[in-house]
Amino acid sequence: MFSMELLLNAITAGMLLGGFYAAVSLGISVTFGLLDVPNIAHPVFIIAGAYAAYAMNTAFALDPILAGLLFTPLFYGLGVVVYRIYYVSFEKKGEQALRGLVFFFGLLFILEVALSLIYGVDYRLVEASYIGNSVSVGIVGISLRLFIPFMVGLLLTLALYLFLAKTFYGKAIQGVSQDSLALRLMGADPIHMKTIAFGLGIATASLAGALLIVIAPVEPAIGREYIGRAFAIAVLGGMGSIGGTLVAALILGVAESLTSTFSGPSWSLAVSFGLLLLALAVRPSGLFGR
């Protein structure tokens, strides 16, 4: 059964979900897209962010998204540390990305265990006034639980985009991915830039985690379900393109939503990944990739 109301609502819900997906994938876009670091542990940093928001929400009744924002400096620092270790162990020696991959897999497991030891394996939820409420705009209903994360995701994308495009550090980071020798000649230290960029990537995880726990219950192992989606979106958008990541995330969100509504939710994930395969076959560098 097809109706305009259903179609508009499906598209809206998909876009809202896409905003959230963008927040999840931005970190990968920066660390993997721009820096070529195969940070497959990014989802578990997101889960850590979710638990941080949960802890603040439970202890101080702090709004989870606010908590996520507050923790970004901490996560930035964490990212800097992780990148340093990675750089010293692998990049300096010119090792292939393959070994970095195994390193990050190991990191994924270690962090997952740490979280389950601290917080146990029960699902965690947060409480916030906007969870469970929705507003209507004509025939379209918008659930706040998804709308607010969508807005935050958009703002995060915008902030990151402006940073990379307009600030000195941002442009230097883009320079690193394009031509690090030239960058060095311009007087900027590529390693320093990469450290900042990686830190930023992990910092986004803090906020993305807060968004995640607003939308759905969280337990330590669910990071694994996002590995595929996050990398797929980053690749589809074009490696390192922030705007591309947003567009790809929105496309995937809408695809999932439309399939869910009209043909059968069982196929929604397969459709998303099928789209990805198709896109790669037609345009291997991604939508906005160079």
CA distance linking residue 261 with residue 8, whole number of Å: 11
Closest approach, Cβ 84 to other proteins, in A, equals 13
Among 73, 77, 134, 155, binds other proteins (CB under 8 A): 134
159 binds other proteins (CB under 8 A): no
Given a contact cutoff of 8 angstroms between Cβ atoms, the answer to whether 246 and 204 are in contact is no
Among 87, 161, 169, 273, binds other proteins (CB under 8 A): 273
- Of 77 and 106, which has the nearer Cβ to other proteins? 106
Given a contact cutoff of 8 angstroms between Cβ atoms, the answer to whether 46 and 223 are in contact is yes
Closest approach, Cβ 236 to other proteins, in A, equals 9
What does the chain look like in DSSP terms, one character per residue? ---HHHHHHHHHHHHHHHHHHHHHHHHHIIIIIIT----TTHHHHHHHHHHHHHHHHHHH---HHHHHHHHHHHHHHHHHHHHHHHIIIIITTT--HHHHHHHHHHHHHHHHHHHHHHH-SS-B----TTTT-EEEETTEEEEHHHHHHHHHHHHHHHHHHHHHHHSHHHHHHHHHHH-HHHHHHTT--HHHHHHHHHHHHHHHHHHHHHHHHHHS-B-GGGGHHHHHHHHHHHHHH-TT-HHHHHHHHHHHHHHHHHIIIII-GGGHHHHHHHHHHHHHHH-TT-SS--
217 binds other proteins (CB under 8 A): yes
- Of 146 and 197, which has the nearer Cβ to other proteins? 146
77 binds other proteins (CB under 8 A): no
The interface with other proteins within residues 88-127 (CB under 8 A) comprises: 89-90, 93, 95-96, 98-99, 101-103, 105-110, 112-113, 116-117, 119-125, 127
- Of 68 and 170, which has the nearer Cβ to other proteins? 68
Closest approach, Cβ 53 to other proteins, in A, equals 14
Closest approach, Cβ 224 to other proteins, in A, equals 6
Question: 20-49 mask for other proteins (x: CB under 8 A)?
Answer: x-----------------------------
- Of 67 and 196, which has the nearer Cβ to other proteins? 67
Facing residues of 134 across strands?
Answer: 143
- Of 124 and 194, which has the nearer Cβ to other proteins? 124
Closest approach, Cβ 179 to other proteins, in A, equals 19
The interface with other proteins within residues 253-272 (CB under 8 A) comprises: 256-258, 260-262, 264-270
- Of 40 and 172, which has the nearer Cβ to other proteins? 40
Closest approach, Cβ 167 to other proteins, in A, equals 28
- Of 70 and 269, which has the nearer Cβ to other proteins? 269
| Token pair belonging to 149 | 């994360």
Hey, what amino acid is at 104? F
Closest approach, Cβ 46 to other proteins, in A, equals 13
Residue among 89, 111, 109 at smallest CA distance from 99 = 89
Closest approach, Cβ 185 to other proteins, in A, equals 26
